[in-house]
């Protein structure tokens, strides 16, 4: 086969993306789906990329971006009614991919706000709670967090120690939560607590007396994001704050399933952005009198990365179609979250090697994606948890204990 006489233009990103879409996945999307993707992609290019390295360096999340995300229509994206966008699961997935191509913290904001908090209110809240919170949260005029994980209850939420007891017409909450995204900038927390009747959910104002919030820092990952520790010391809320449709762990698990689904797509975004950074760099960077893209070892790295990005995107799209059809199962989400995230980490690390020494500069995205994905690999179910979910599905034997 004759060698190409001219290299691809590293500045023609559209052509590079067309060449990288080896399986023709773009053609599997509808025109409306592509329009949603392109709108979110343009927002990330204009509003996120110029600033994200600085945010990451200063460990800062720009809370002022929340209303912009609301106008973009990515908050509570699949929820119908109450001013929410009401888009498809595939459209949400494409938005999550483009957001995480900018930074995992950006996709995490949309996930915590939309899938975890708003999803819980929509699924389990009263009509009054939905009317009060969903429109404001969809517009980004208010921020919510989701408080499930505890210092000693991460992978095993059934062992949570936070307890809510009845006191007349009120509830008194005592306990602690940890690794709670957005808590320090949120106006309301969806709090899960044990009660005499099992696990219940509550909407707790973050300025409630007795609620302490501490930002967890410094971090080496998810730096352009916020995670907090919460302490509840006799926090009193009325019974109207209880989510009436939430009893048992099924309710928070449903929200977690939606968030994990978003991660399946988001991880592809981080991997794709890392791969594209490496591809464009390899076409510009010359050594020994030629672009390093022309060397066999570099091409092998690029091919390996492209294969994983394509496989991950195809898997995410398949799961999205299943979700829109109402047939997506938990073990399928576990498979997607497990493999797409660990492959995205491998792609980001490999991309960094192509950038050489400059690859450790924050202006280049692979090092940021590699660091962020270490957190993504851990939250919403570790590799071990998803492996055990799949193991139970295959064998019929639960090996969690």
Cα gap 353→10, rounded to integer Å: 18
Q: Which of 47, 276, 380, 384 is catalytic?
A: 380
The Cα–Cα gap between 178 and 172 comes to 19
Which residue is it, tokens 């690390």?
Answer: 349
Rounded Cα gap, residues 289 and 149, in angstroms: 54
Are residues 269 and 219 in contact, defined by beta-carbon separation less than 8 angstroms?
A: no
- Residue 250 main-chain phi, psi, to 5 deg: -60, -35
Quote the tokens at residue 291: 């672009």
Which of 251, 255, 250, 257 minimizes the C-alpha distance to 331? 257
Give me the long-range contacts of 304-307 (CB less than 8 A, separation at least 24): 304/350, 305/271, 305/274, 305/275, 305/278, 305/347, 305/350, 305/351, 306/20, 306/22, 306/275, 307/22
Alpha carbon 119 to its chain's center? 14
Q: Is 380 a catalytic residue?
A: yes
Task: Compute the distance between CA of residue 237 and CA of residue 198 in angstroms, rounded to an integer.
Answer: 18
Omega before 218 within 30 of 0, i.e. cis: yes
The tally of CA atoms less than 13 A away on the side-chain side of residue 243 is: 29
**DSSP run (H or E) holding 276:** helix 250-284
For residues 284 and 300, what is the distance between their CA atoms, to the nearest angstrom? Answer: 17
Residue 172, Ramachandran bin (φ over 0: left; ψ between -120 and 50: alpha; else beta): beta
Give catalytic residue positions. 380
């Amino acid at each position: 086969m004759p060698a190409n006489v001219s290299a691809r233009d590293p500045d023609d990103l559209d052509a590079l993306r067309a060449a990288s879409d080896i399986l023709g996945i773009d053609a599997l999307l509808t025109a409306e789906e592509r329009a949603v993707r392109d709108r979110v992609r343009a927002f990330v290019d204009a509003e996120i990329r110029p600033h994200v390295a600085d945010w990451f360096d200063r460990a800062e999340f720009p809370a002022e971006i929340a209303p912009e995300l609301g106008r973009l229509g990515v908050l509570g994206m699949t929820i119908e009614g109450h001013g929410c966008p009401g888009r498809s699961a595939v459209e949400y997935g494409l938005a999550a991919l483009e957001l995480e191509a900018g930074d995992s913290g950006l996709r995490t904001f949309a996930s915590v706000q939309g899938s975890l908090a708003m999803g819980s209110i929509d699924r389990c809240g009263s009509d009054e709670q939905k009317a009060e919170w969903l429109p404001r949260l969809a517009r980004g005029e208010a921020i919510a967090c989701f408080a499930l994980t505890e210092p000693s209850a991460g992978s095993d939420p059934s062992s949570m120690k936070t307890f809510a007891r009845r006191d007349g017409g009120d509830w008194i909450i005592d306990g602690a939560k940890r690794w709670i995204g957005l808590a320090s900038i949120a106006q309301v927390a969806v709090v899960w607590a044990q009660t005499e009747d099992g696990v219940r959910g509550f909407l707790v104002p973050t300025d409630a007396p007795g609620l302490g919030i501490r930002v967890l820092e410094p971090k080496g990952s998810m730096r352009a994001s916020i995670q907090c520790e919460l302490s509840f010391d006799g926090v009193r809320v009325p019974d109207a704050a209880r989510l009436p449709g939430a009893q048992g762990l099924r309710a928070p698990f449903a929200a977690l399933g939606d968030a994990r689904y978003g991660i399946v797509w988001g991880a592809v975004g981080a991997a794709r952005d890392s791969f594209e950074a490496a591809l464009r760099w390899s076409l510009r960077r010359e050594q020994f009198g030629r672009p390093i893209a022309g060397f066999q070892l570099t091409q092998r790295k690029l091919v390996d990365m492209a294969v994983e990005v394509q496989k991950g995107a195809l898997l995410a799209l398949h799961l999205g179609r299943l979700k829109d059809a109402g047939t997506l199962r938990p073990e399928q989400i576990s498979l997607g979250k497990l493999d797409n995230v660990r492959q995205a980490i491998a792609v980001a690390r490999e991309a960094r090697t192509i950038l050489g020494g400059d690859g450790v500069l924050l202006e280049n995205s692979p090092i940021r994606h590699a660091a962020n994905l270490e957190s993504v690999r851990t939250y919403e179910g570790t590799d071990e948890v998803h492996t055990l979910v799949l193991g139970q599905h295959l064998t019929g034997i639960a090996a969690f204990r």
